[in-house]
Amino acid sequence: MAFVGNLLGGYQAKQIGKYNESILQQQAAINTRNAEIKKTTFEQVTLPQLKKDQERNRSNQFVNLLSSGVDVSRIGDTPYLVMLEQSVEDAFSISVESYNSQTAYENELNTSLILQAQGRGKAFEGEVAFRTGIAKAGADIYMNKDKYESLLG
């Protein structure tokens, strides 16, 4: 009566596959949610704070230049060029931070997609094992039909 073990083993494999799929789907949902949280935090907290810090630094730089007695309004002179260079560096810094945030967000989403695919793979694996168990049980019954007469009527 090995067919009973084959049936139960196949059923067990199917259930484990479904369970593993559900765990991986939950992990994918958590990763997606974390990605959204990180993106929102960057957009609503980190980026405004960075801009505010840069504005404060520009203001301090401007005051320091004025305090030194130089004319900062003359385009092409050193104080103006220093302020222009600082503005370019600030814009570049924001671009880099935005790029890093977007890249991290996309990486989290990619990880979620991979986990979902792994979950589907686990479910398929369980289904294949289940069908294999059924086939083994059927083969065992057929091969031992004389022994299992009462089961076949």
Contact present, 149 and 1 (Cβ < 8 Å): no
Contact present, 93 and 49 (Cβ < 8 Å): no
pLDDT, residue 126, reads 93
pLDDT, residue 49, reads 97
Q: Residue 128 — pLDDT band, cuts 50, 70, 90?
A: very high
Place of tokens 């067990």: 12
pLDDT single digits (tens) 37-71 = 999 999 999 999 999 999 999 999 888 888 887 77
Place of tokens 């259930």: 15
pLDDT single digits (tens) 103-126 = 999 999 999 999 999 999 999 999
Phi-psi region of 74 (alpha: psi -120 to 50; beta: other; left: phi over 0): beta
Give the pLDDT mean for 81-91. 90
pLDDT at 90 over 60: yes
pLDDT single digits (tens) 5-39 = 888 888 999 999 999 999 999 999 999 999 999 99
Contact present, 124 and 51 (Cβ < 8 Å): no
Neighbours of 84 (CB within 10 A): 12
Contact present, 79 and 71 (Cβ < 8 Å): yes
pLDDT, residue 75, reads 67
Between residues 28 and 147, which one has the greater pLDDT?
28
Residues 29 and 49: their CA atoms lie apart, in Å, by: 29
The radius of gyration computed from the CA coordinates of the chain, to the nearest angstrom, equals 33
Tokens for 3, please give them: 């067919």
pLDDT, residue 25, reads 95
Helix axes 78-143, 2-41, angle to 10 degrees: 170
* pLDDT, averaged across the chain: 89
